[in-house]
């Protein structure tokens, strides 16, 4: 589904992502791990188009999307969430989600000002999608709550719903369980499995190792921008290079 | 209709307001008051424009007064120097607003946040300099006199105050109507998504430049048409119209009334205009009254009058709904009660997503269409 070849991003003299090649299979949960500053978020930004790669290819369903604008990539079917959730504090949960489906609609200024049948149709579609996704993430009961009144875990779910409203084939989740307690993390893990069941490929960045090891089908390990390991949780766990990156060289030899 | 529907946005309220405005000339003490009100309406139209780019889309445009002046000068030059009638000149004013807005927007909107604001401040100053120095076109500091008033229809003569008042009221109603449509629409939601965050909007497939330019051009057309009306009612304009003080006045109207709200621009403009009239006797010392008032307002009502009212309404309605739902669903019983003290609304989780320091206008993130989630869960 996503075929990455020699992806590189340099900021001046710093190489944030260094010749990374990997393949994300359709229907799998892929995880990217690595110490702080390993280039994980930069990697996401390259795939989502928020930053243009210095070199390399990103093939999404066979098409090279490297360097495309983020909105075009979103329309192509890649959605993302951010480490900090950004939502409209002073409006309701449901209201926040309606704009998520805007990219699948075509109403223009005249449709809006004249309130044409097209705009009515588009608006209904966006509302339906918002309600559907709210239900998907299990928050139908709080659709009328103000965002300011929701918990961190609920915000994570709302951010998922917003990303899913774009009808993605691949979602990039940046620390989906960040700032969420262990019990709630289990709930989010179940939700991620549910996404996969609905034919959405998942790629996530996470620091919670227990979660990663239990959820991921495949793990890519980055260190100083370069890929040092790539494989199943079992393979990665026992890889000397990974142990060295995380714990230091002495532990690897011991 | 949902209980969340705000009074200010309710069609009935708008009709009542329109009715009040319609009878105003008959209850006003004198013609001067009608004239002041008509001028306030003209400025309010321009402030509605500013509200679209700055309130909804979150881009602080400091050249707004310049676009008002462009519209006014388009009418002035075409009618006084070229003998045009008012209406075609007025149409050209709107077109000039769109064209200049497109050009300026396409360049300036490449910049973000403060850089955009500073760039537009410079654009506003350049417009002022052109009006002041380009004698051949604008008559420089002398200004332009004998601007044609709007041509009347039949018995209606727009050189008289009352007919002109109604003409301006018509355009104001149109401005409110279009803003209302826009705000509640997918396009309004698109603009507000950009206000939350450029990155978020783009990740949702929103083309940033196209939508920002659209919001900018809509706002400059509002400003230029308001400027055209201004030229038609005052019939004399000078380069001072392009002075950036007018832009800051409009920002003050918007902040007082409620940025990003439907009725804020009108409320703020009327309130400050009439306050100014009331303290006219103080002359230049009136800023001693206005300064502290504005400071107090920004501290205690950062969302402005309409914004604070709406936030209060939305909160109450949301609380009632969660109270209704709690027995039936049993879900999330904590969330409703933690929110029950209005004073604490911006505490806690809020700080995480509003972490970046922002100028005062950015703090006033209200969303009047919060009430739009009609029928979605009315127990």
pLDDT at B348: 38
**Best to test chain A binding among B373, B374, B379 (most A CBs inside 10 Å):** B373
Instruction: Tell the burial category of A156 from Cβ atoms under 10 Å away from its Cβ (0-12, 13-18, 19+).
Output: buried
pLDDT at B328: 44
Chain A residue numbers with beta carbons less than 8 Å from the beta carbon of B322 are 142, 144-145, 149
Chain segment B72-117, per-residue pLDDT in tens: 999 999 998 888 888 999 999 999 999 999 999 999 999 988 999 9
Chain A residue numbers with beta carbons less than 8 Å from the beta carbon of B181 are 112-113, 115
Find the closest chain B residue to A151 by CA distance. Answer: B349
In a domain, A87, yes or no: no
Domain boundary among the residues A122, A145, A165 is at A165
In a domain, A161, yes or no: yes
A192 and A217 co-located in one domain = yes
Chain B residue numbers with beta carbons less than 8 Å from the beta carbon of A88 are 192, 196, 365, 367, 370
Average pLDDT, chain A: 89
Domain boundary among the residues A165, A182, A212 is at A165
**Domain of A144, in residue numbers:** 94-165
In a domain, A84, yes or no: no
Q: What percent of chain A has pLDDT over 90?
A: 55
A141 and A117 co-located in one domain = yes
**Rounded CA separation A17/A222 (Å):** 9
Chain segment B313-329, per-residue pLDDT in tens: 877 777 776 666 554 44
**Rounded CA separation B282/B277 (Å):** 10
Find the closest chain A residue to B336 by CA distance. Answer: A149
In a domain, A82, yes or no: no
CATH number of the domain to which A26 belongs:
3.40.50.300
A135 and A99 co-located in one domain = yes
Tell me the DSSP string of chain A.
-EEEEEEEEEETTEEEEEEEEEEEPTT-EEEEE-STTSSHHHHHHHHHTSS--SEEEEEETTEE-TT--HHHHHHHTEEE--SS----TTSBHHHHHGGGGGGG----HHHHHHT-HHHHHHHHHHHHHHHHHHHHTT-GGGTTSBGGGS-HHHHHHHHHHHHHTT--SEEEEESTTTT--HHHHHHHHHHHHHHHHTT-EEEEE---HHHHHHH-SEEEEEETTEEEEEE-HHHHHT-HHHHHHHH-HHHHH-
Whether pLDDT at B152 is above 80: no
What's the Cα-to-Cα distance from B185 to each of A104, A124, A184, B17, B204, rounded to whole Å? 15, 11, 35, 23, 17
Give me the number of domains chain A comprises: 2
A18 and A59 co-located in one domain = yes
A180 and A138 co-located in one domain = no
**Rounded CA separation A161/A131 (Å):** 9
| Angle at the Cα of B323 from the Cα atoms of B318 and B327, rounded to 5 degrees | 140
A246 and A173 co-located in one domain = yes
**ipTM score of complex:** 0.89
Task: Indicate the pLDDT class of residue B352, thresholds 50, 70 and 90.
Answer: very low
In a domain, A244, yes or no: yes
A114-128, B12-26, B35-49: least confidently modelled range: B12-26
**Rounded CA separation A76/A111 (Å):** 24
A223 and A241 co-located in one domain = yes
Sequence-ordered list of residues with C-beta below 8 angstroms from that of B202, at least 6 positions apart, any chain: A49, A50, A69, A70, A71, A74, B208
Contact assignment for A92 to B199 by CB distance below 8 Å: no
């Amino acid at each position: 589904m996503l075929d990455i070849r020699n992806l590189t991003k340099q900021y001046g003299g710093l190489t944030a992502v260094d010749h990374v090649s990997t393949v994300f299979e359709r229907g799998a949960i892929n995880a990217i791990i690595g110490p702080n500053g390993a280039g994980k978020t930069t990697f996401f930004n390259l795939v989502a188009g928020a930053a243009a790669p210095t070199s390399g290819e990103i093939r999404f369903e066979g098409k090279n999307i490297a360097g495309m604008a983020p909105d075009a990539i979103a329309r192509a079917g890649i959605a993302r969430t951010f480490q900090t959730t950004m939502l409209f504090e002073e409006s309701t949960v449901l209201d926040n989600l309606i704009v998520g489906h805007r990219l699948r609609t075509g109403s223009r200024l005249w449709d809006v000002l004249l309130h044409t049948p097209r705009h009515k149709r588009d608006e209904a579609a966006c509302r339906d999608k918002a309600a559907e996704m709210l239900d998907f993430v299990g928050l139908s009961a709080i659709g009328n709550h103000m965002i300011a009144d929701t918990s961190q875990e609920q915000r994570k779910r709302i951010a998922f719903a917003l990303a899913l409203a774009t009808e993605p084939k691949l979602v990039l989740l940046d620390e989906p369980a960040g700032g969420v307690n262990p019990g709630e993390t289990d709930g989010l893990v179940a939700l991620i499995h549910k996404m996969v069941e609905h034919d959405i490929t998942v790629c996530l960045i996470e620091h919670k190792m227990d979660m990663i090891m239990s959820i991921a089908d495949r793990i890519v390990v980055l260190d100083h921008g370069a890929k040092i390991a790539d494989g199943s949780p079992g393979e990665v766990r026992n890889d000397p290079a990974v142990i060295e990156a995380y714990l230091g060289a002495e532990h690897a030899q011991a | 209709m949902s209980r969340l529907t705000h009074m200010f946005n309710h069609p009935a309220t708008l009709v009542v307001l329109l009715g009040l405005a319609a009878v105003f000339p008959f209850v006003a003490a004198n013609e001067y008051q009608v004239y002041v009100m008509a001028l306030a309406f003209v400025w309010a139209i321009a402030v509605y424009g500013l509200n679209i780019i700055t309130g909804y889309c979150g881009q602080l445009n400091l050249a707004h007064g310049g676009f008002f002046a462009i519209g006014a000068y388009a009418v002035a030059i075409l009618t006084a120097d070229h003998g045009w009638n008012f209406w075609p000149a007025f149409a050209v004013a709107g077109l000039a607003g769109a064209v200049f807005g497109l050009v300026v927007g396409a360049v300036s909107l490449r910049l973000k946040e403060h850089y955009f604001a500073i760039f537009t401040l410079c654009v506003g100053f350049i417009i002022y300099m052109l009006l002041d120095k380009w004698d051949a076109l604008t008559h420089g500091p002398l200004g332009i006199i004998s601007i044609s008033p709007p041509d009347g229809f039949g018995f209606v003569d727009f050189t008289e105050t009352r007919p002109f008042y109604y003409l301006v009221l018509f355009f104001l109603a149109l401005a409110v109507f279009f803003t209302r449509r826009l705000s509640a629409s997918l396009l309004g939601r698109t603009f507000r998504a950009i206000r939350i965050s450029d990155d978020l909007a783009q990740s949702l497939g929103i083309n940033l430049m196209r939508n920002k330019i659209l919001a900018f051009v809509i706002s400059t057309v509002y400003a230029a048409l308001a400027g055209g009306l201004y030229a038609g009612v005052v019939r004399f304009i000078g380069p001072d119209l392009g002075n950036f003080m007018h832009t800051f006045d409009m920002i003050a109207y918007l902040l007082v009334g409620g940025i990003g709200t439907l009725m804020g621009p009108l409320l703020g403009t009327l309130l400050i205009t009439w306050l100014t009239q009331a303290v006219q006797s103080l002359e230049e010392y009136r800023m001693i009254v206005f300064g502290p008032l504005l400071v107090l307002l920004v501290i205690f009502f950062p969302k402005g009058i309409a914004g604070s009212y709406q936030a209060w309404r939305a909160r109450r309605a949301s609380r009632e709904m969660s109270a209704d739902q709690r027995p039936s669903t049993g879900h999330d019983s904590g969330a409703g009660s933690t929110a029950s003290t209005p004073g604490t609304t911006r505490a806690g989780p809020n700080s995480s997503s509003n972490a970046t320091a922002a100028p005062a206008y950015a703090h006033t993130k209200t969303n009047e269409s919060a009430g739009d989630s009609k029928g979605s869960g009315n127990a």
